Amino acid sequence: MPGQVVKNPAQQNIAALVQEIGAQNPLQQQFVRNSAAGLDGEERDWFGAYLDYCLATGQSLASLAACYNLLVKDTMREQMYFQRHGRYRCSTYSEVSDAVYQNPEYMEQYMAGLALTAFLWPNHRKMRKSFLRKLPRERGGHYLEVGPGHGFHMMSAMRLSAYETFTGVDISPKSVEMTRSIIESGFFGRWENYELVCQDFLECEAPPGKYGALVAGEVLEHVEQPLAFLRKLHELAAPDAFIYVTTAINAPEIDHIYLFDSVEPVRRMTEEAGLRIEDEEVFPYTGLSLEECEERRLPVNLALVLGT
Ligand SMILES: C[S@@+](CC[C@H](N)C(=O)[O-])C[C@H]1O[C@@H](n2cnc3c(N)ncnc32)[C@H](O)[C@@H]1O
């Protein structure tokens, strides 16, 4: 019909997911519509491929929308707690372990919802783009990812980079299972040069200087001892390793237990861990400056490339 835009199946899935999210949660309707309208071609391709993978592995657009809306609801509840008390609800691993990391039903929904935010939340979109821009394409050596969660970013690194081996370490059995599923699905490539380990990164044993790439996206605020975590990254890094760390500031979530209240403490901590900031990207809450976010204690994301 004249004037009618014909959508390919991937675009149709994106549009149908957006509609389903809005139908389940009208308060999200306009927000996700705007997000989807702003996706560029690269994002549409990957988002569409990811939805194809989800549908082929037995999920439905309705269940994915429910996962996304659960994450939104839980985030808002934690934001209200944070505004009222000025701190995150929990501050120790033991407080969140049973409810989140060791709870397969919750973790599956949480990680499925989180994967969608890489395309639907402005800051997560920016961080995904930042990672893809910075990930070295030609370097060899061993790649380590801590906390791959849903596995989407680790799978992307396996597809796009030339590292010889890939290791994922995650404390949650469900995260390990989800990462294995996306890598082994055959949807994005076929690999044998990887291993996945279910362990606390701080307890993981590997020779010092082993890894040429160390990636920890949105994990630092999940640990009781982020300084020890950064020191461990340093210890395991080969000279000239690509070290990529993102974290969240004033960003309450059910399992965020270490509160960074501004960018400066993160900078100081990386320095204390013996790491040098080679590149820093700050992503304040949409429409606000970093100063406004820090003053009003609103979420900021931070992506760092570190050197030893
Ligand atoms: C918020 S998710 C991040 C997922 C993904 N990296 C991303 O950027 O979207 C955090 C992940 O880190 C894992 N995690 C938390 N503490 C950890 C630890 N001490 N060692 C290893 N993994 C950990 C969690 O189980 C979860 O899978």
Backbone region of residue 151 per phi and psi (left: phi > 0; alpha: psi in -120 to 50; beta: other values): left
Closest residue by Cα to atom 24, ligand 1, is: 147
Q: Give the model's pLDDT for residue 115.
A: 98
238 C-alpha to ligand 1 centroid (Å): 22
- Indicate whether residue 175 lines ligand 1 (CB < 6 A): yes
Judge if the beta carbon of residue 124 lies within 6 A of ligand 1. no
218-275 tens-digit pLDDT: 999 999 999 999 999 999 999 999 999 999 999 999 999 999 999 999 999 999 999 9
Is pLDDT at 7 greater than 80 in this prediction? no
pLDDT band (50, 70, 90) for residue 1? very low
Contacts of 151 (CB under 8 A, 6+ apart): 168, 175, 178, 179, 180, 181, 182, 183
**pLDDT at 135 > cutoff 90:** yes
Q: Given 2.60.40.10, 3.40.50.150, 3.40.50.620, 1.20.120.640, which CATH number is that of 1-308?
A: 3.40.50.150
**Strand blocks (E) in 202-266:** 211-217, 237-249
Residues 70-77 have a mean pLDDT of 98
Measure 158 CA to ligand 1 centroid, in angstroms: 18
DSSP reduced 3-state for 137: coil
According to DSSP, residue 4 is labeled P
Q: Measured in angstroms, how far is the CA atom of residue 135 from the centroid of ligand 1?
A: 19
Backbone conformation region of residue 179, classed left if phi is above 0, alpha if psi is from -120 to 50, else beta? alpha
Name the least confident of 2-16, 65-79, 82-96, 257-271.
Answer: 2-16
Write down the pTM of the prediction: 0.96
Question: For residue 216, what pLDDT band results from cuts at 50, 70 and 90?
Answer: very high
Would you say residue 171 has pLDDT above 50? yes
Tell me what the mean pLDDT of segment 31-59 comes to.
96
DSSP letter for 211, please: E
Determine the residue of 222, 233, 247, 301 to mutate for testing ligand 1's pocket, defined as the one with the most ligand atoms within 8 A of the Cβ atom: 222
Q: Which amino acid makes up residue 163?
A: Y
